[in-house]
Copies of this chain bind each other. A is one copy, B any other.
Amino acid sequence: MRRPQKAHNGVEAVPKKTTIRDVARAASVGIGTISRVLNSSSQVSRQTRARVLEAIRRLGFRPNAQARRILKRRSEIVCFLLSNRDFLHPFHAHILQGVESYASSLQHHVLFAVLHYSPRTPPEKIDLPPVLQEHGLIDGVILAGTIYPNLLRRIEAIHMPFVAFSNNVVGLDGEQRYDQVGFDDFNGALQATRYLIAQGHRLIDFAGDMSYPWIQRRFDGYRQAMREKKLKPVSIQPQNFDSFVNFGQKSAGRILARPSRPTAVVAGNDETAYGLWLSLRRHGVKVPDEISLVGFDDREEAVLMDPPLSTVRVYKEEIGETCMKMLIERLHHPQMAFSQRILPTEFVVRETVRKL
């Protein structure tokens, strides 16, 4: 039943790799001994080990990891599943980087997969990527991108261990029946707003697209800070915007049109802050001289704005690492209670806030 070296369908055959049996023959030992040397498990005599190692080197033998994985019943491969994103945003790219970094420190591997689905598709109809349809290839999955309840149900149904990046979960308020890692939208905005207040600002607007739950939470943090000081929260809601940047641009017009112009604006995220900045500049309104501005996320671009944007830093790599860490725990303890980690953010003072 040996597979032929030359297939007859025109496709050249995969070259025969040296196997553990070849090495055993070369070193004149049993295959079990090769395996023992490879896994440096039980004791092998010094001489035998040397002979085996030499044979391995001479034959350029690299063990077939797939075979090993079957026996281990664990692949040490996890899937990073990015859902409903047109492309790999820098934000998620950093999370992936964190996942990979922690995974590789544990000799684990990361498979990158993408999924597009509608929140209205019944769970069982969601067309999961092939990795999730088989078993044995991946041990578990890290869910990134936008997560709706139906996807969660589907992943549960196939009994695939998973951890979700929770900030982009939509429509599952407070549900705790799965492992999740996120950062603190509410407190991030709370701190940013408190900072503005501490700098003497009283008229502070919020500009963010609250159709996104995470922006809504940032608004809640902003509102909380305003209420603490008996200040009036004001939310700017322009119409007909087509992106976060555009939302910011349109917000600027609204803000400048108001009878009592604010001295500062909390933006829903850095992109919105950038749009505000662009449009204010166009209108000849200087940041921070006339209007102070803070963002949220601390994208690469924030520090490259002129002046550099004061914003809320999110530790994206740490989110990835924590997701991976939590998934590993879940794999080792399938019955463990679900956990939820909310990582702190940090307000980064740069140059878009003026002291009044």
Contact = CB atoms under 8 A, between A and B. Distances in A.
Interface of A: 3, 11-12, 14-15, 17, 60, 62-67, 69-70, 73-75, 77, 80, 87-90, 93-94, 96-97, 100-101, 104, 107, 109-114, 129-131, 133-137, 158-159, 245, 274, 278, 281-282, 301, 304, 306, 317, 332-335
Contacts of A335: 12
Given A12-B333, A14-B73, A88-B94, 16 more contacts: A12-B334, A12-B335, A15-B334, A17-B135, A60-B159, A62-B135, A63-B135, A64-B134, A66-B70, A66-B75, A87-B97, A89-B93, A101-B114, A111-B112, A281-B306, A301-B301
Contacts of A88: 88, 93-94, 96-97
A92 to B, nearest CB: 9
A132 to B, nearest CB: 9
Contact of A113 (B74, B104, B135, B281): B104
Q: List the 6 closest A-B pairs by CB distance, nearest first.
A: A64-B136, A65-B134, A88-B93, A66-B136, A62-B135, A65-B137
Nearest to A282: B306
Contacts of A281: 306
Contacts of A101: 114
Specify how many copies of this chain sit in the oligomer: 2
Nearest to A108: B130
> Counting chain B CB atoms within 10 Å of each CB, which of A66, A94, A114, A333 scores highest?
A66
Contact of A110 (B75, B112, B133, B334): B112
Contacts of A133: 62
B114 A112 contact: no
Contacts of A62: 133-135, 158
B112 A96 contact: yes
A304 B93 CA distance: 20
A274 to B, nearest CB: 7
Contacts of A100: 112-114
A53 to B, nearest CB: 15
Contacts of A69: 66
Nearest to A335: B12
A75 B90 CA distance: 29
Given A306-B282, A335-B12, A87 B94 contact: yes
Given A87-B94, A97-B87, A131-B109, A332 B64 contact: no
A79 B168 CA distance: 28
Given A96-B112, A109-B131, A274 B11 contact: no
Contacts of A87: 93-94, 97, 317
